[in-house]
Amino acid sequence: MSLRALWIISHEKGENASVRFSRRFATVEHRYKSLSGSSYVSVPEDRNFLQLLLTELGLSRSNKNFVAARDDCLYRPRSPAVELCLDGKKTLWPVLALSQGPLILACLPLVDIPSESRPPLASLLSVSQGLTLLAGLQAFLFSSGGKLDSEGLVARVAALPSLLLQICPLGTPLDIPLVGTPATPTGPTSAVNQKQPPWKTGLHRGRATVNVAVVETVRSMQFGDQSRQDLWDVYGTVTCKCEVEGVLPNVTVTLSLPHNGSPLQDILVHPCVTSLDLSILTASSLDNADGSAFSGPYKFPFSPPLEPFRLCSYTSQVPVPPILGSYQLKEEENSLRVNVSLKLHESVKNSFEFCEALLPFFNRNQMGNVDVKVSSGQVDVTKEKNRLIWALGQKFPKSREVTLEGKITFSGSSQGPSHPLCTGLTAYIELHLKVPDTTLSGCSVDQHSVQVYSSAKPKIITSRELQSKDYFIWNSTGPAPISSGQMMT
Amino acid sequence: MASEWRERIEAFCCSPSGFLCGSNSDSFLSELLRELRDDRLSYGLKVLLLVPLCEHPFLLCSSESAGEETALDLMSVFLQCPPRSQQFRCHLLVALTSVLICSSCAGSRSRASLDFLDLLLQVAQDTSDHHGDSSPLCLRNTAAECLREMEASCPGLLSQRLELLGGLRQQETSRLHQAYAGLQVLVLRNAVLHLTKESGAGAAQLKALLGGPSCADQDVFQMDANDPAVQASLVLGPMGRVPTLPTGPDCKELRSVLSSLLEESYLLSPLCQAALLHRLIEVVAMAPGIPPAIFRAQLLRLLGTNQVALLHVTLLMKCAFTDSLFSAEDEAFLLKRLLVLSQHPVLSASERLFYMDCILHFPENRPISCGDSDEALPVLLTPQLASILLPTVLNDSATLLARLHLQALVFLEDGEEEGGGGLAYIYDLLGALLHMVDRGGSRDLVVTFFRAAFLFLLYFHHVERYSARLSQQLCQLYLQHPLLAPHILNLADRTQDHLPESDWAVGLLQGLQRAITGAPGGQLTLPDLSCHLKVLSRAAEEGNISPCSTLRFLSAVFTSSLLCSGGNWCLGNGVLGVCRRVLLHPSLDSLFGPLADVLLHLACNYGDSDIQDHARLYFSLLTTLSREKLSAVLQGAAEGQVKKRALSCVMAESEGLTNALSVHQTDRAVLRLMEAGPGPLQEADADEDVGDGAVQRYRSQFSQTGFASLVPLRYRLTLMEPHQPLFEQLFSIRLHFRLTDHHYHPLPDASVPLLHRQRPPPELTLTLQPRRPHPTTIRVGAIFTAKDGLTWHSDMPDLHVAFQQTFLPLPVPSTWSRASRVAVFEALWEEAESEAGVWAVSLFCCQLGEAHLKALLQTHFLPFLLSDSSLEDGFRVLWFLPPRSHVLLKISREDDATLFKMATDDRQLLPHINDYLLEVTSTAAIRQLGSEPEHRS
């Protein structure tokens, strides 16, 4: 349940890599020595570790075509735990590595099962502990909105020693760093005899406010082809920010579905949720939903932290995608004839914050003459001349259907971007949309259903929103890259 | 100061072995401890100074006694440290824990470790300073963690305090209750484990342990911390045997402790909660009196969690208790849950991959296989359920491969190879990947495709219709992209290694040979051709593939084109490589003519003489040697003895090339420089009397630039113990010196042609050029060639140049008489006594007998001695310190004492002189002379 070492590495696409921070936990190493006996493998020094890890992750010597240590086709489960080959047939395992942008976070969990052969990853609790800690540190290092500026990184790396003193002083991770500005930490008042949970960093004083937001995301893959089934799915997350008095206040949020709504499935909840009803967990996207399934209301009693947090997430099977599209390209001499139609389903609210369709063209020259007509909205060509942006505005017309027709010549002088999938007539449209105050599943939080057990009347704010992600409509006249079956993740 | 320490600590952490190779770990440790006690240093810097002790106590305190002393030192620093510097105090506790555990002091219950334990318990219980400030909380939290770590490393250490710890946890309302819960449960687990090993222990002992009044007189448990079983996880699953404690159904006390911990487990961070549950699982597994159902109330919360650690511990719970806690419905639910989580859009990629791994090691209630590391599909996993994890080209490569692996197992189980959509789906995916590679995919994509292909073959190589098609498609792909040769050959090698019964790889190689030799040879580019040669060479290794067409191809390409006369050396080697494989081919007899033609053509016409020579050699081997001799000769050559490593041979075995051309780093120091004694004293002719102007003539010499500015130091270069056979003879040794300060001019590299263990070590003279006289340390590195023919780099131990090594005798022409030298001395001495501004005069006394003084002069001062004691106030000794400093000594005896009157024109030298005199007259130095001197300065 402990870690032997921890590293934070920065690199620029494999170049200029350096270990920005490392920590070895000597007492855990001591235990590992006695646990592993003769099969003990020591932790390499930073310089060696860096080299080995970059090779294993395929980041070193990027200009070389084939490097045996990096590109061997032998299948080893490489993720989330990789194995580093040290000198003389010894291997360092399991090294967990999370890579995001220019940072790699890695740790070496303790193997506390002495066995001749390598124990399965799933039998080592230290692995999930390590993953959790790394993800927490990653969120901490990237906490300025996913972007990483070098100064911010330096400051955060400099803060790591005192941070680790609190969350992992001796190699056993206790918690993950809090992201965002923590409320001024205050000790609990002596009158309180409730125990303070670690996620509660301070106490709120003043009027209670509870903010609950439901955001649903729809993904889709449409082919416009009889032989190929279109795919779509919906998942939702419920985010809360609760400013409520008390060390261990009780709040209950209830999600409800409209009559005949299909049940929320695959529900995952935040650890601050105190109890769960079995009926909430039973619906799974693996089962075919039938009418008899539990369809709410979904009650979540919890004791919130002060910071915003994701109370729960779910998936839902909705009968139709919000926008059904068709995309047809016809190759003519050095040009493409384009035909697009998009139809908004009648059940979806026709009031967008934005809705736009992107038509990228890969592996071709830049666009020359663009002669397209749209029934609604406005078309722009990007500066790089490789993409059309069709802004549909806030509303579809009354017919709920829009079209784009025309011809694009690719007579530009220079080559546009390349894409491994989109060659020939394999091409797609990507839809970006956001619809406020609606969800596809119909899931909602009623203001009155939010219960806060406190003296003063709390202020309750609820909202919902639908957005898209990976919403693709493939050209039906060309081969689509996936045959059938499952889509996305 | 601070920045220097920062640099040193950084250098240490970056490479501790390299750092300590250059300096002594004991002295580094004592420096650290000295600085930690220094009040002038900031606490921020002191925290940094603790890093080496926290992270590498093995290196700094390698023995128990060193650990004990260091710990006592650190504890005194802790006690003297003001309470406000909490961060530093916390780090100190961590450092103490690391030192005590890693030097085995804690394991042997040493004095310091027991004191430290008391200190920790005292800190943990100290709630007095509690003004809403988070700092004391931080200190107590660290103390609790240190206690937990001490208990984890020395199981049983705190068993007696179980009741106290339980009380601490229950009273605590701040976040600290979490740390105490972790501590309590670990101590409990270790204590119960100890009881299981005691014969005759049962319910009564357990009760006593949990807080009966009798526990006070119980012995502290002494479990062997080196017994891995004590520290290892006890969650072993139905096949493992957990030691149990026969308590009978009556263990109320234990049950109430467990219930109380479980009830509050919800108030812990997910990481602590998972660790707590893991320990509780172990305790319940050891105590059959407690039903696993005690966990039931927590299950729903755990099954619904979004935290990977919590779901993971639930799986471990299932592994430990199987159907005594999880019904068949629970099992089905959990499996579905894992499938869903393996592709849940809100989870991270690594979490999803981890869950996928958990599916392959699913803890079943009634497991069929008993191998603990084998991957096996859960019985309940049907292809239909698994279809949620079908891979697609839109997956990232790790996900794609993991899913492909899982599906392959599912289809194999299901007998899919008989026909069915699943396998076709996977083959289509492979086709799509291949198409993307064909269209010029990225390197990552290429690697992913070949890994996917290997996986497919591993499971479905026997499904002829797919494996044959894959082979065909790979050949087509190769013709389009010959640069993929290394990938394709790697795939062939791997399939051959892992599927020895399959001839798929041979089929592929044959297909490739056919494709290459059958293609129109018109527009072959040079890079393509060298790829082809690699493939043909590999194909020729297979006895079942006839090299006929290969030889036709070679002959066609090299006789009809300009390639031969172009004389590209690398290309020539490629051809020779193919020919050599053919020479070893079992069907060589039938190939004699065509091969001889190719070799002869190369020997006569190739535009590079090295290639010609080799071709001629192969030709003569072919035409004169029998088959057996030929293969013996060629195979011997292929093994690549160092002596035969001609460059062309290196090229043919290209993997050896990098090895031969790079500099290797030795893992520890191989060489060292040992101080050689001083050279022979120059007996001066000493007859020229300079008269009155001695000191003026002496002074005038300094107008020449570079006069007497060099200090020659003699060293012997020796091999370090223990001897490593590889490094018994070293050649072309080049030593590189790096200064660590600015008191000297940089030193040029030095060369030593040969070092042999059996021969006397070579001597070399380093000529230092001081800017000012000062002791210094010089870092040394060596590059040399070893017996294996490779070039090595090795760091060497630092050279420490002591103050006295910079002394030279009075630099006057060798012909000057002794009297003239004394005259210079006297003139300078007079100057010193009159001009106190430049000169400093001092006195050093010690008790030193006559005989000892003589011995001292003989051993240390002889080269600098100007006169004997005949002069009225004793011996005259003069040290000249380049570039232009002097130290003059008059040594005389008065009663029992020996007086060293000294004068120097560089007053900054005084402390060094004092140290030096102390050293040479010290007890240790004089011990052999028989009396103990007394110092007065």
Q: Is the pLDDT of residue A210 over 70?
A: yes
- Min Cα distance A53 → chain B (Å) is 16
pLDDT band at residue B655 using 50, 70 and 90 as cut-offs? very low
Q: Is the pLDDT of residue A3 over 50?
A: yes
Q: Give pLDDT, residue B686.
A: 66
- Min Cα distance B447 → chain A (Å) is 6
Choose, out of A104, A124, A195, A280, the residue to mutate when testing the contact with B (most B CBs < 10 Å).
Answer: A195
Q: How far apart are CA B84 and CA B139, in angstroms?
A: 11
Q: Which amino acid is at A147?
A: K
- Min Cα distance A378 → chain B (Å) is 30
Residues of A with CB below 8 A from B173's CB? 188, 192-196, 247
Q: Give pLDDT, residue B375.
A: 76
* Distance (Å) of CA A30 to CA A4, B83, B596: 9, 31, 65
Nearest to B454 by CA among A78, A71, A73: A73
Flag if B274 and A271 touch (Cβ within 8 Å). no
Flag if B269 and A46 touch (Cβ within 8 Å). no
Q: Which helix (H) or strand (E) holds B850?
A: helix B850-856
User: What share of chain B has pLDDT > 70, as a percent?
Assistant: 89
- Min Cα distance B44 → chain A (Å) is 11
Flag if B272 and A175 touch (Cβ within 8 Å). yes
B247: left (phi over 0), alpha (psi -120 to 50) or beta: alpha
Does residue A395 contact residue A352 with C-beta atoms inside 8 Å? Answer: yes
Q: Give pLDDT, residue B654.
A: 43
Residue, of B93 and B425, whose pLDDT is higher: B93
B9: Cβ contacts below 8 Å, ≥ 6 apart: B48, B49, B51, B52
Nearest to B103 by CA among A318, A79, A26: A26
Q: Is the pLDDT of residue B649 over 80?
A: no
Q: Give pLDDT, residue B369.
A: 61
Q: Is the pLDDT of residue B501 over 50?
A: yes
- Min Cα distance A70 → chain B (Å) is 9
B3: Cβ contacts below 8 Å, ≥ 6 apart: none
Q: Among B18, B387, B491, select the one facing A485 at the smallest CB separation.
A: B387
Flag if B346 and A268 touch (Cβ within 8 Å). yes
Q: How far apart are CA B353 and CA B884, in angstroms?
A: 72
| Whole-number average pLDDT of chain B | 85
| Model pLDDT for residues B106-121, shown as the tens digit of each residue | 888 899 999 999 999 9
Flag if A73 and B483 touch (Cβ within 8 Å). no
Nearest to B175 by CA among B136, B225, B217, B233: B136
Lowest mean pLDDT among B252-256, B438-442, B575-579, B615-619: B438-442
- Interface size A-B, in CB pairs within 8 Å, comes to 379
pLDDT mean over B694-701: 83
| Model pLDDT for residues B25-71, shown as the tens digit of each residue | 888 999 999 999 988 889 989 999 999 999 999 999 989 999 999 99
pLDDT mean over A76-91: 82
Does residue A103 contact residue A21 with C-beta atoms inside 8 Å? Answer: no
- Min Cα distance A488 → chain B (Å) is 7
| Model pLDDT for residues B128-177, shown as the tens digit of each residue | 655 545 558 889 999 999 999 999 999 999 998 999 999 999 988 888 89
pLDDT mean over B895-918: 83
pLDDT band at residue B220 using 50, 70 and 90 as cut-offs? low
Does residue B905 contact residue B829 with C-beta atoms inside 8 Å? Answer: no
Q: Give pLDDT, residue A135.
A: 95
> How many other CB atoms are there within 10 angstroms of residue B120's CB atom?
22
| Model pLDDT for residues A319-363, shown as the tens digit of each residue | 899 999 999 999 988 899 999 999 999 999 999 999 999 999 998
pLDDT mean over A117-126: 89
Which segment, B177-191, B797-811, B901-915, is predicted with the most confidence on average? B177-191
Which segment, B239-253, B303-317, B722-736, is predicted with the most confidence on average? B303-317
Nearest to A249 by CA among A450, A465, A99, A394: A450
Residues of A with CB below 8 A from B346's CB? 235, 237, 268, 310, 313
pLDDT mean over B751-763: 88
User: What share of chain B has pLDDT > 90, as a percent?
Assistant: 41
Q: Among B347, B398, B487, select the one facing A73 at the smallest CB separation.
A: B487
Which segment, A13-17, B330-334, B569-573, is predicted with the most confidence on average? B330-334
Flag if B436 and A115 touch (Cβ within 8 Å). no
B139: Cβ contacts below 8 Å, ≥ 6 apart: B86, B89, B90, B93, B123
pLDDT band at residue A189 using 50, 70 and 90 as cut-offs? very low
pLDDT band at residue A433 using 50, 70 and 90 as cut-offs? very high
A157 touches chain B (CB under 8 A): no
Does residue B822 contact residue B876 with C-beta atoms inside 8 Å? Answer: yes
Q: How far apart are CA B736 and CA B748, in angstroms?
A: 7
Residues of A with CB below 8 A from B427's CB? none
DSSP helix/strand/coil, B381: coil
Q: How far apart are CA B423 and CA A117, in angstroms?
A: 32
B729-739 sheet: strands from edge to edge: B663-665, B791-801, B776-785, B729-739, B750-756
- Min Cα distance A381 → chain B (Å) is 27
Q: Give pLDDT, residue A455.
A: 67
Nearest to B188 by CA among B290, B104, B298, B118: B290
Flag if A128 and B274 touch (Cβ within 8 Å). yes
pLDDT band at residue B419 using 50, 70 and 90 as cut-offs? low
Q: Give pLDDT, residue B207.
A: 85
Q: Among B132, B225, B267, select the one facing A34 at the smallest CB separation.
A: B225
Choose, out of B233, B276, B389, the residue to mutate when testing the contact with A (most A CBs < 10 Å).
Answer: B233
Flag if B450 and A487 touch (Cβ within 8 Å). no
Q: How far apart are CA B57 and CA B55, in angstroms?
A: 6
Radius of gyration of chain B from Cα atoms?
40
Flag if B315 and A280 touch (Cβ within 8 Å). no
Q: Among B58, B233, B358, select the one facing A112 at the smallest CB separation.
A: B233
| Model pLDDT for residues B866-896, shown as the tens digit of each residue | 876 565 667 888 889 888 888 988 888 877 7
| Model pLDDT for residues B568-600, shown as the tens digit of each residue | 888 899 999 999 999 989 998 898 999 999 999
Residue, of A39 and B21, whose pLDDT is higher: A39
Q: Is the pLDDT of residue B211 over 80?
A: no
pLDDT band at residue A286 using 50, 70 and 90 as cut-offs? confident
Q: Is the pLDDT of residue A61 over 80?
A: no
Both structure tokens of A96: 């967990």
Nearest to B47 by CA among B85, B1, B99: B85
Residues of A with CB below 8 A from B97's CB? 27, 170
Q: Is the pLDDT of residue A489 over 50?
A: no
Q: Is the pLDDT of residue B374 over 80?
A: no
Residues of A with CB below 8 A from B320's CB? none
Beta bridge partners of A389: A358, A380
Q: Among B142, B172, B439, select the one facing A169 at the smallest CB separation.
A: B142
pTM, rounded to two decimals: 0.80
Q: Is the pLDDT of residue B647 over 50?
A: no
Q: How far apart are CA B626 and CA B629, in angstroms?
A: 5
Q: How far apart are CA A409 and CA A370, in angstroms?
A: 6
Q: Among A24, A276, A363, select the one facing B301 at the smallest CB separation.
A: A276
pLDDT band at residue B928 using 50, 70 and 90 as cut-offs? low
Q: Among B17, B275, B447, select the one facing A58 at the smallest CB separation.
A: B447
A60 touches chain B (CB under 8 A): no
Q: Give pLDDT, residue B925.
A: 66
Q: Give pLDDT, residue A323.
A: 96
Does residue A387 contact residue A419 with C-beta atoms inside 8 Å? Answer: no
Q: How far apart are CA A279 and CA A474, in angstroms?
A: 39
- Min Cα distance B144 → chain A (Å) is 11
Residues of A with CB below 8 A from B453's CB? 73
Which segment, A262-271, A448-457, B415-424, B876-885, is predicted with the most confidence on average? A262-271
Lowest mean pLDDT among A86-95, A290-299, A319-328, B189-198: A290-299
Residues of B with CB below 8 A from A77's CB? 353, 357, 401-402, 405
